[in-house]
Amino acid sequence: MTGLHERHLAVSPAWLALYYRHPLELTHGEGRHVWDADGNRYLDFFGGILTTMTAHALPEVTKAVSEQAGRIIHSSTLYLNRPMVDLAERVAALSGIPDARVFFTTSGTEANDTALLLATAYRGSNQILAMRNSYHGRSFSTVSVTGNRSWSPTTLSPLQTLYVHGGVRHRGPYADLGDAEFIRACVADLEDLLGHTGKPAALIAEPVQGVGGFTAPPDGLYAAFREVLDRHGVQWISDEVQTGWGRTGDHFWGWQAHAASGPPDILTFAKGIGNGMSIGGVVARADVMNCLDANSISTFGGSPVTMAAGLANLSYLLEHDLQGNARRVGGLLIERLRAVGARSPAVREVRGRGLMIGIELVRPGTDEADPDAAAAVLEAARAGGLLIGKGGGHDTSVLRIAPPLSLTVAEAEEGASVLGEALRAAG
pLDDT digits 0-9 by tens, 138-149: 998 998 999 888
pLDDT at 1: 60
* C-alpha of 12 from chain center: 25
pLDDT in tens, 278-330: 999 999 999 999 999 998 899 999 999 999 999 999 999 999 999 999 999 99
Task: Give pLDDT, residue 393.
Answer: 79
Of residues 144 and 384, the one with the higher pLDDT is: 384
Quote the crossing angle between the two packed helices 304-319 and 322-342, to the nearest 10°. Answer: 70
CA distance 85 to 93: 12
Residue 225 has pLDDT above 80, yes or no: yes
pLDDT in tens, 340-376: 999 999 999 999 999 999 999 999 999 999 999 999 9
Quote the DSSP letter at residue 217. Answer: P
Verdict on whether the full-model pTM lies above 0.75? yes
245-281 pLDDT, tens digit each:
999 999 999 999 998 779 999 999 999 999 999 999 9
Residue 79 CB neighbour total at 10 angstroms: 9
Go through the chain and tell me how many residues it has: 427
Question: How far, CA to CA in Å, does 284 sit from each of 77, 101, 115, 425?
Answer: 18, 6, 9, 48
Number of H helices, E strands in the chain: 13, 15
Q: Quick one: pLDDT at residue 395?
A: 77
Judge contact between 301 and 278, C-beta under 8 A. Answer: no
pLDDT tens-digit profile of 2-55? 799 999 999 999 999 899 999 999 999 999 999 999 999 999 999 999 999 999
pLDDT at 394: 66
Name 292's Cβ contacts closer than 8 Å, sequence gap at least 6.
Answer: 117, 118, 121
Average pLDDT over the chain, rounded to an integer: 95
Q: Please give the full DSSP string across 45-102, using - where no structure is assigned.
A: SSHHHHT--S-BT-HHHHHHHHHHHHH-S---TTS--HHHHHHHHHHHHHH--TTEEE
Residues 6+ apart with CB under 8 A from 194: 200, 228, 232, 234
C-alpha span between 77 and 297 (Å, rounded): 6
What are 61-88's pLDDT values in tens digits? 999 999 999 999 999 999 999 999 999 9
Asked if the model's pLDDT at residue 426 lies above 80, the reply is no
Domains of the chain by range and CATH?
Answer: 3-57+321-425 (3.90.1150.10), 62-319 (3.40.640.10)
Distance set, CA 156 to CA 196, 379, 422 (Å): 22, 36, 41
Of 105 and 396, more confident: 105
Phi, psi of 51 (to 5 degrees): -100, -40
Q: At what angle do helices 179-194 and 221-231 cross, to 10 degrees?
A: 20
CA distance 39 to 26: 9
* Among 225, 144, 230, CA closest to 189: 225
Dist. CA 382–CA 402, nearest whole Å: 15
pLDDT at res. 157? 86
Distance CA 352, CA 329 (A): 13
Check: CB of residue 226 under 8 Å from CB of residue 257.
no
What span, in angstroms and rounded, lies between the C-alpha atoms of 285 and 4? 47
Work out the average pLDDT over 382-388: 98
404-416 mean pLDDT: 98
Helix %, strand %, coil % of the chain (to 5): 40, 20, 40
Question: Which pairs from 347-354 meet CB under 8 Å and 24+ separation?
Answer: 347/423, 349/170, 351/170, 351/214, 351/215, 351/216, 352/208, 352/214, 352/401, 353/208, 353/216, 353/248, 353/249, 353/250, 354/246, 354/247, 354/248, 354/249, 354/250, 354/323, 354/326, 354/327, 354/330
- Per-residue model confidence as pLDDT tens digits over 181-221: 999 999 999 999 999 888 999 999 999 999 999 999 999 99
d(CA 156, CA 232): 27
3-state secondary structure of 160: strand
CB 245 within 8 A of CB 200: no
